[in-house]
Amino acid sequence: MKQEKITKFIKSEDAEKKWYIVDAKDQVLGRLAAKVASIIRGKHKPVFTPNMDTGDFVIVINADKIKVTGKREQLKTYFRHSLYPGGAKITSFSDLLAKKPEYVIEHAVKGMLPKNRLGRKLAKKLKVYAGEEHPHKAQKPEVISL
């Protein structure tokens, strides 16, 4: 009798979802975002499937203390457009970090996720907070250092 090789696929609901907490204090933005995106995607698990949500939730604290290398503090900009003529809005990294430090990390991580329905669903698994406090103590998040 011939033995068949069967690949096991799990459902997204059956994947075990954990909560992790990451401290962004003195971390480099891109390196932190790459590791967080990998955890949210579920690439660290043996049951990883590219077309399913098998990843975990990530809480990032101290977003206001994130670092960038070189001259990026002065040179990095964020562009958006209102779709009206002359509606371009350009914001510098240092201004954005002062006003909305959560957006800097959210923007970096979202850029590393898939650009489709799955990516939009995965982006909701990222929770970013400027300070030490977060409202997710009930989920008992594990602290991981990246």
The CATH number that applies at residue 62 is: 3.90.1180.10
Query: What percentage of the chain exceeds 90 in pLDDT?
Result: 86
pLDDT band, residue 1 (cuts 50/70/90): low
User: How confident is the model over 24-56, as pLDDT tens digits?
Assistant: 999 999 999 999 999 999 999 988 989 999 999
In the chain, where do the E strands start and end?
19-23, 57-61, 77-81, 88-92, 126-128, 142-143
Q: How far apart are CA 27 and CA 32, in angstroms?
A: 6
The answer as to whether 138 is a domain residue is yes
The answer as to whether 117 is a domain residue is yes
The answer as to whether 88 is a domain residue is no
Q: Which tokens belong to 54?
A: 């098998």
Contact between residue 57 and residue 19 where contact means Cβ atoms under 8 Å apart: yes
The answer as to whether 1 is a domain residue is no
pLDDT band, residue 8 (cuts 50/70/90): confident
> How many structural domains compose the chain?
1
C-alpha closest to that of 126 among 142, 102, 92, 96: 102
pLDDT at 7 over 90: no
Query: What percentage of the chain exceeds 70 in pLDDT?
Result: 99
User: How confident is the model over 73-98, as pLDDT tens digits?
Assistant: 999 999 999 999 999 999 999 999 99
pLDDT at 59: 98
Q: What is the pTM of this model?
A: 0.91
Pairing of strands 19-23, 142-143: parallel
Q: How far apart are CA 79 and CA 39, in angstroms?
A: 27
pLDDT at 109: 98
**Structural domain span for residue 63:** 16-71+100-143
**Mean pLDDT for the stretch of residues 121-135:** 96
The answer as to whether 93 is a domain residue is no
Phi-psi region of 140 (alpha: psi -120 to 50; beta: other; left: phi over 0): left
The answer as to whether 11 is a domain residue is no
The answer as to whether 7 is a domain residue is no
Average pLDDT, the chain: 94
The answer as to whether 61 is a domain residue is yes
